[in-house]
């Protein structure tokens, strides 16, 4: 079943990025438009109004933003190609998340309805690709997303693993070498204990 999100058709079973037509190069945009995008973007990152002011400022930049969207403080939404980002109704984007729709050219990021992007998550799409965060999907804190996430799926990075016991605290070490010499590698059965 194909659903509509932010004015486009989404296939929630898509689990890979799809090729797309290349976007116009950045330099083809008028300079004043590019400057305006950056001013509105800077304001949107730090102004109050997660459900009012910030979504409006991003719309002025060319981001397609649905209704009832929450955009947290210091969220970075692509500066070069804001028009390549689509955010569906009811989406929540947490503090310091990054949505980057270009790597060596423009791609497209589509965030489906009721999706959640956690704090410090990075969603990045390569040139001429479409990356979709499906309806109701959850991207956990600190995740790095480079492929589409199907609807209703929860993705998160693995938990940090203890590697060594620090016998010399880093702030107390005079040099990095001194700190490293005080690291005691944990044995197989001693991790975290």
More confidently predicted of 10 and 150 = 150
Q: Could you give the C-alpha distances from 189 to 163, 183, 185, in angstroms and in order?
A: 12, 17, 12
State residue 104's pLDDT score. 82
pLDDT at residue 166 above 50?
yes
pLDDT at residue 122 above 90?
yes
**Residue the block writes with tokens 């991790």:** 191
- At 85, the pLDDT band (50, 70, 90 cuts) reads very high
Q: Alpha helix locations (H) across the chain?
A: 31-46, 53-61, 176-181
More confidently predicted of 1 and 101 = 101
State residue 19's pLDDT score. 57
Q: What is the dihedral of CA 73, 76, 81, 84, to 10 degrees?
A: -70
State residue 27's pLDDT score. 55
pLDDT one-digit tens code per residue, 23-47: 444 457 899 988 989 999 999 999 9
pLDDT one-digit tens code per residue, 92-101: 999 999 999 9
Mean pLDDT of 4-17: 44
- Cβ count near 60 (within 10 Å): 16
Using the Cα atoms of residue 78, residue 83, residue 85 and residue 89 in order, give the sign of their dihedral. positive
Which domains does the chain carry?
A: 3-155 (2.160.10), 160-193 (no CATH)
**Which residue in 107, 120, 64, 118 sits closest to 88, CA to CA?**
64
* DSSP reduced 3-state for 179: helix
């Amino acid at each position: 079943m194909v659903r509509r999100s932010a004015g486009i058709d989404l296939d929630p079973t898509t689990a890979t990025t799809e090729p797309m037509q290349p976007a116009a190069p950045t330099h083809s945009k008028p300079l004043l438009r590019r400057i305006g995008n950056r001013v509105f973007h800077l304001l949107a990152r730090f102004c109050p109004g997660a459900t009012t002011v910030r979504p409006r400022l991003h719309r002025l930049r060319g981001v397609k933003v649905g209704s009832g969207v929450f955009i947290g403080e210091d969220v970075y939404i692509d500066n070069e190609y804001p028009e390549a980002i689509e955010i569906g109704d009811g989406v929540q984007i947490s503090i310091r998340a990054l949505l980057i729709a270009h790597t060596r050219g423009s791609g497209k990021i589509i965030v489906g309805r009721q999706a959640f992007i956690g704090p410090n998550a990075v969603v990045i799409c390569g040139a001429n690709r479409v990356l979709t965060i499906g309806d109701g999907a959850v991207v956990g804190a600190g995740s790095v997303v480079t492929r589409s996430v199907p609807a209703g799926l929860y993705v998160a990075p693995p938990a940090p693993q203890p590697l060594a016991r620090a016998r010399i605290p880093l702030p107390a070490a005079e040099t990095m070498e001194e700190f490293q010499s005080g690291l005691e590698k944990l044995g197989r059965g001693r991790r975290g204990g």
